[in-house]
Structure 1
């Protein structure tokens, strides 16, 4: 085990631990009010572990293997004792799995049990990534006084709901997660996973989509069926939505996200809710995807979590710390969105031009979108492999992708904040999607994505303005480079393809190609709106 400890320290670039000599108590039984027991493991230093601050991690992915080595052991070596618990219905814990719905009741019962344990001491810190961060929000407004801090990492308080927006369903992530959960306890699951991921990707081509779980798993998945049948506003998801609890959270919160993380908009929403309520909170956003390997969570657990657990103040820093891509440097700000950045419009012009000045004559550009050969998702906000910043050359060569590009920049342009676009659009069909991506083009002509977003339209056969919310960003566009905007009608399988028929996505079997047109002129000034610090 010491060898693995040294390896994790090296991979995550962590400082040396206080100890590598740990003891693990396996399969502690934590009773729930309905009579179900959830299993947990306690990791602690062999000497002096009792009474140390307790890091609580509630996890649906098991308590051993990669989770134990990468998330649990580093904390137990650096000042914590750690209780990692398997959530309901998985890895030995009792009950029937009903992911996300049961986490408030089970989480509160776990905290009630934990504070009664003689070894637990008087300080608890809630820590965890993704689902393990979401479960923190499920209980955050009712934690006992022993809870001193929260560190939600790559997560948000509503989790699934961002994917299920009625104006553009994110398909690949929730479907892939549902399939992974269904398969993770099979024998040799880690070895089989790369092959199963390919099968899951192929399953997304299934028509109707309601049969994709059969294609991927060989059986039905309640979660996958639910994401296909119920959009974000459906009462079905009410028990999973903890957004209304965030303003009532009083313990200090350090939230960590990534520019290419699938949960970033919700994570920023939670932070701004805390700031508006004058709660103690800070936000860190790095150049990461959802599964990037970095040491930020462990470092924050030690510097921020342990300080609060001991009744001390962590090292002083600004409330918002952002990694500015392009500049490749960390910067501190007082709030989100940072002050001093104004929305500036870059207008689409004929001939693929992009400029501050609005066009003077009405024009339009067209392309044909065929859901049978959908515009693919390339890089960006998706699950690995292939997430993050990538070369968009092949994507931009497709006939169903329009591009608009500025002249070479004569000074740096710093974009920090919420990015949006207004695209005047018409389709030959009433149902269509508009996907917009902001890119930076280097001196060699290589186009690399910065941020993007999609919105779905009803009544698209009438000319209208499509407002597209792109992912937040902090990026410096360098002098000598160019700004590019892509416009297309999809990014499959990140987003579900629009069949063009108006049928529900779960049951649609007919795919209709559409002729799309993007308009730009004095009366239809299509543009991307960038929050910039310097004049363009």
Structure 2
């Protein structure tokens, strides 16, 4: 790792001379049920003595990504234990994502603190799933952790698996492809998108039923896919034990987070951050113009991780930065804030209006309604957004907006720049002819040349027996769109789309109430989107001065 380590340091802008380190390979960590998990210890050379330890538990292997993190920190003088989670890369047991991480993590923490090279102080690091393994132990650790670096992750994943109740099909298919193939082709290679794999995944998620799509994607059954799809109709019952969002902020260690406006975990991560901050915990977050694991985010992630560990494990002084640092897209500037949401943000309601207008003048006349028909055999396609693999981020939406199953509402030309910074939401009054259906709402930036670029969006799956239905059959659907930091420039216009699908990002609604895993047919759904004084459908946008 000598030459490779120096190349990594150069790419990340780390200029200080690296420290020497040695590794102790294939340490066996016993779990309470007799399973042994393998780990690698990175430590300073010489005799063993008690030191603070950085713990990272990963399903992606101790080589590759795990080795990069381990050596990156070891070259900065930290002692690091890198562990392969249950059922991955030589560790015993079966990998059932999320379900074993609390018990295995706490067993690992207890074992670590008993070793002669540990002084009992433990911090944790790692992104994505590796971040979730931190959340699985931090609220329960006794003694507590010293600090956490929980990047592009969240305390619970259910709301990201099934946003608004609709299964996040394509993102989960991408992850199934990665974890289902990584030990055959390598963890890093499993993340790469190729035309052949993209076509294979597209065919797999388009074919019905969905329950066997894992074989079409990864070439073999993947237990996580079966868990994800079989429990799509009542996910909370199955995934509840793997959720850790009920934490007590007073028991949490100092937490540093890095994420991106186009990260699929952004919504939930900001909920976690807000709960920590309001509960009195030490927390800070950085949000950049990035997707999940974006190469552009790596330098920031590395610097934040190293500085946070130095502060909390080595006692270096606080750097004094604000708790919230965000990048405002298309303004090309970073902004520091004391909290989230921004305390000085002003909320404005933009109402759906007749003739496809979007206005701040308030709701119009009573009885306004727009109609369309959704066909599950030809679901409205997804364009861009917070995707694990390309195409992600922003794309031109005009092709989708031209479809007959998409309603479009466009605002006036802006006379001045409009900085959107904060939480975004929508209230849409909808009626379907059978009670079933999805409501997808997207906010777009319409450029002077007509290009319509997505800014943020949200989804809600109607469940007839769970909705509050008015006497006229209308449901007031309240949809949180993903938070954003975005400048809509003068001369541009705002646009809101309302549709019944964003496929294959989200699994299609069959309109029949059949189980997601086994449904093979569907029925068309007639939609009424109501707006006006009696049904004031609108989006609420945060304006930052």
- Which bracket does the TM-score occupy, shorter chain normalised? over 0.9
The correspondence for 1:512, drawn from 505, 523, 527, is 523
Corresponding residue for residue 174 of structure 1: 172
* Inter-partner Cα distance in structure 2 for 1:48 and 1:345: 65
Aligned residue for 1:133, secondary structure, equals helix
- Give the conservation status (yes or no) of the 8 Å contact 1:19–1:45: no
Does residue 221 (structure 1) correspond to residue 222 (structure 2)? The answer is yes
The correspondence for 2:286, drawn from 257, 276, 284, is 284
- Give the conservation status (yes or no) of the 8 Å contact 2:433–2:526: yes
Instruction: Quote the offset at 1:390 in angstroms.
Output: 2.3
* Inter-partner Cα distance in structure 1 for 2:539 and 2:406: 16
CA shift in 2, pair 1:162/1:249, >3 Å: farther
Once the two structures are superposed, residues 126-179 of structure 1 have per-residue CA deviations (whole angstroms, 9 ceiling, x without a partner) of 000011100111110233558321110010111244323563222222333234
- Give the conservation status (yes or no) of the 8 Å contact 1:45–1:77: no
* Inter-partner Cα distance in structure 2 for 1:412 and 1:376: 30
CA shift in 2, pair 1:143/1:437, >3 Å: same
* Inter-partner Cα distance in structure 2 for 1:291 and 1:60: 16
Unaligned runs of 5+ in 1: none
- Give the conservation status (yes or no) of the 8 Å contact 2:353–2:364: no
CA shift in 2, pair 1:145/1:306, >3 Å: farther
Once the two structures are superposed, residues 469-503 of structure 1 have per-residue CA deviations (whole angstroms, 9 ceiling, x without a partner) of 11111222222211111111111111111111111
* Inter-partner Cα distance in structure 1 for 2:235 and 2:65: 35
Corresponding residue for residue 435 of structure 1: 440
Corresponding residue for residue 3 of structure 2: 3
Instruction: Quote the offset at 1:115 in angstroms.
Output: 2.2
Corresponding residue for residue 241 of structure 2: 239
Does residue 125 (structure 1) correspond to residue 126 (structure 2)? The answer is no
Corresponding residue for residue 26 of structure 1: 25
Instruction: Quote the offset at 1:266 in angstroms.
Output: 1.4
Instruction: Quote the offset at 1:525 in angstroms.
Output: 2.2
Aligned residue for 2:330, secondary structure, equals coil
Corresponding residue for residue 480 of structure 1: 491
Corresponding residue for residue 255 of structure 2: 253
Corresponding residue for residue 382 of structure 1: 387
Aligned residue for 1:173, secondary structure, equals helix
The farther-off stretch of 100-109 and 507-516 is 507-516
CA shift in 2, pair 1:480/1:440, >3 Å: same
Aligned residue for 1:274, secondary structure, equals helix
Q: TM-score, normalised by structure 2?
A: 0.91
Instruction: Quote the offset at 1:246 in angstroms.
Output: 4.6
CA shift in 2, pair 1:445/1:47, >3 Å: farther
* Inter-partner Cα distance in structure 2 for 1:329 and 1:506: 45
Corresponding residue for residue 94 of structure 2: 96
Instruction: Quote the offset at 1:101 in angstroms.
Output: 1.4
The farther-off stretch of 41-50 and 500-509 is 41-50
- Give the conservation status (yes or no) of the 8 Å contact 1:39–1:86: yes
Once the two structures are superposed, residues 72-115 of structure 1 have per-residue CA deviations (whole angstroms, 9 ceiling, x without a partner) of 32222223222211001110111222221111121112122222
Corresponding residue for residue 56 of structure 1: 55
Q: TM-score, normalised by structure 1?
A: 0.92
- Give the conservation status (yes or no) of the 8 Å contact 2:158–2:236: no
Instruction: Quote the offset at 1:122 in angstroms.
Output: 5.3
Corresponding residue for residue 319 of structure 1: 323
* Inter-partner Cα distance in structure 1 for 2:94 and 2:474: 50
- Give the conservation status (yes or no) of the 8 Å contact 2:174–2:389: no
- Give the conservation status (yes or no) of the 8 Å contact 1:138–1:242: yes
Once the two structures are superposed, residues 349-375 of structure 1 have per-residue CA deviations (whole angstroms, 9 ceiling, x without a partner) of 222221101353343333332221211
Unaligned runs of 5+ in 2: none
The correspondence for 1:470, drawn from 476, 481, 489, is 481
Corresponding residue for residue 535 of structure 2: 524
Corresponding residue for residue 300 of structure 1: 304
Corresponding residue for residue 81 of structure 2: 83
Alignment of 1:101-500 (within 5 A): 101-121=99-119, 123-145=121-143, 147-164=145-162, 167-187=165-185, 194=194, 195-231=196-232, 234-293=236-295, 294=297, 295-361=299-365, 362-459=367-464, 462-500=473-511
- Give the conservation status (yes or no) of the 8 Å contact 2:363–2:531: yes
- Give the conservation status (yes or no) of the 8 Å contact 1:2–1:20: no
CA shift in 2, pair 1:45/1:117, >3 Å: same
The farther-off stretch of 277-286 and 248-257 is 248-257
* Inter-partner Cα distance in structure 2 for 1:19 and 1:11: 14
